[in-house]
Amino acid sequence: MNIRNAIAEFDRAALAETLAAAEEQRQQVLKLFPLEEWPSLPLSRYALGLGADGDDVTYCRLLEFNTPALGSISGGSAIKHMIYRHNSGEWRLAANLRGMDVEDAWVRLRGEFAAALEAVGRGDFSVLDDLPVLQSGQALATKTLSVYYPDQFLPIASGSHLRAFVQALGGTPERNAPAWRVNRHLRDIVAADPELAQWHPIEVMHFLYSEFDPRPEKRTVWKIAPGRNASFWDECLSGGYICVEWDEVGDLAQYTSDTELKFALDSYWPRTAGGNLVKARNLLAYRDLQPGDRVVANLGMTHILAIGTVTEGYRFDESRALAKHVVPVAWDTRYEQDLPEPQRAWVPTFAKVSEQLFSQFLRMGDLAESEALEVPVPEDVSQLLAVLDRKKQAILHGPPGTGKTRLALSAALAVDGRAASIDTPDRGSAIAKMLADGRIQLVTFHPSYGYEDFVEGYKPVHDAAATGLRLALTDGLFHDLCTAAAKDRDHVYLLIIDEINRGDLPRIFGELITLLESDKRGIEVQLSISKRRFAVPANVRIIGTMNTADRSVSHLDAAIRRRFGFVYVGPDPDALSGAIGPLELSAFLTSLNGRIAECLDTDHQIGHAYLLCDSEPLATDEELFTAYYHDIVPLLEDYCVGRAELLRQILGGLVDQDTGRPAQVAVQDLASALAAEFLAGGEAS
Does the structure show a pLDDT above 70 at 684? Answer: no
Average pLDDT on 486-501 reads: 94
Average pLDDT on 276-297 reads: 92
Residue 405 backbone dihedrals phi, psi, to 5 degrees? -65, -40
Contact 435, 442 (CB under 8 A): yes
Q: What angle do CA 245, 249, 255 make, to 5 degrees?
A: 115
- The 10s digit of each residue's pLDDT in 425-465 is 889 999 999 999 999 999 999 999 999 999 999 988 887 77
Cα–Cα distance, 585 to 580 (Å, whole number): 7
In three-state form (DSSP H/G/I as H, E/B as E, the rest C), the secondary structure along 33-67 is CCHHHHHHCCHHHCCECCCCCCCCCCHHHHHHHCC
Cα–Cα distance, 544 to 557 (Å, whole number): 14
> Any idea how long the chain is?
685
What single string gives the DSSP state of each residue in 498-520?
ETGGGS-HHHHHGGGGGGGSGGG
| Structure confidence at residue 441 (pLDDT) | 96
How many other CB atoms are found less than 10 A from the CB of residue 466? 8
Does the structure show a pLDDT above 50 at 620? Answer: yes
As to burial, measured by CB atoms within 10 angstroms (0-12 exposed, 13-18 middle, 19+ buried), residue 153 is buried
How many other CB atoms are found less than 10 A from the CB of residue 527? 17
| Structure confidence at residue 375 (pLDDT) | 58
- The 10s digit of each residue's pLDDT in 173-191 is 998 899 999 999 999 999 9
Amino acid identity of residue 23, one-letter, is: E
Quickly list H helices, 548-632: 558-563, 585-599, 621-627
Choice between 219 and 352, residue whose per-residue pLDDT is larger: 352
pTM over 0.85: no
Q: Which of 230, 268, 266 is nearest to 248 (CA)?
A: 268
Does the structure show a pLDDT above 90 at 87? Answer: no
Amino acid identity of residue 517, one-letter, is: E
Average pLDDT, the chain: 90
Q: How many helices (H) and strands (E) does the chain have?
A: 24, 23
Instruction: Give the model's confidence band at 317: pLDDT under 50 very low, under 70 low, under 90 confident, else very high.
Output: very high
Cα–Cα distance, 442 to 498 (Å, whole number): 7
| Structure confidence at residue 230 (pLDDT) | 95
Does the structure show a pLDDT above 50 at 335? Answer: yes
Q: Which of 468, 3, 399 is nearest to 212 (CA)?
A: 3
Cα–Cα distance, 293 to 220 (Å, whole number): 8
Choice between 387 and 556, residue whose per-residue pLDDT is larger: 387
What single string gives the DSSP state of each residue in 219-232?
PPEEEE-SSGGGTT
Extended beta strands in 451-564, E state: 456-462, 469-475, 493-498, 525-526, 533-534, 540-547
Does the structure show a pLDDT above 80 at 545? Answer: yes
Which three-class secondary structure state does DSSP give residue 680?
Answer: coil
* Domains contained in the chain, CATH given: 3-212 (no CATH), 221-370 (3.10.590.10), 379-568 (3.40.50.300), 573-678 (no CATH)
**Alpha carbon distance, N-terminus to C-terminus of the chain:** 62
| Structure confidence at residue 538 (pLDDT) | 95
Instruction: Give the model's confidence band at 371: pLDDT under 50 very low, under 70 low, under 90 confident, else very high.
Output: very low
- The 10s digit of each residue's pLDDT in 94-121 is 888 988 999 999 999 999 999 999 999 9
Q: Which of 174, 124, 182 is nearest to 153 (CA)?
A: 182
| Structure confidence at residue 366 (pLDDT) | 54
Instruction: Give the model's confidence band at 579: pLDDT under 50 very low, under 70 low, under 90 confident, else very high.
Output: confident
Does the structure show a pLDDT above 80 at 1? Answer: no
Name which of 4-8, 243-247, 355-359, 641-645 the model is least confident about: 355-359
Cα–Cα distance, 529 to 512 (Å, whole number): 13
As to burial, measured by CB atoms within 10 angstroms (0-12 exposed, 13-18 middle, 19+ buried), residue 421 is buried
Average pLDDT on 547-562 reads: 74
Q: What percent of the chain has pLDDT over 70?
A: 95
| Structure confidence at residue 685 (pLDDT) | 30
| Structure confidence at residue 409 (pLDDT) | 96
| Structure confidence at residue 609 (pLDDT) | 94
Extended beta strands in 172-244, E state: 221-224, 241-244
Amino acid identity of residue 349, one-letter, is: T
Cα–Cα distance, 563 to 595 (Å, whole number): 34
Name which of 250-254, 409-413, 441-445 the model is least confident about: 250-254
Cα–Cα distance, 544 to 550 (Å, whole number): 15
Name which of 115-119, 465-469, 605-609 the model is least confident about: 465-469
Does the structure show a pLDDT above 80 at 515? Answer: yes
Strands 493-498 and 440-444, bridge-based pairing: parallel
Q: Which of 160, 156, 139 is nearest to 75 (CA)?
A: 139
How many other CB atoms are found less than 10 A from the CB of residue 526? 10
Instruction: Give the model's confidence band at 423: pLDDT under 50 very low, under 70 low, under 90 confident, else very high.
Output: confident
Residue 242 backbone dihedrals phi, psi, to 5 degrees? -120, 145
| Structure confidence at residue 196 (pLDDT) | 96
Amino acid identity of residue 415, one-letter, is: V
| Structure confidence at residue 373 (pLDDT) | 46
Which three-class secondary structure state does DSSP give residue 114?
Answer: helix
Name which of 50-59, 152-161, 249-258, 375-384 the model is least confident about: 50-59
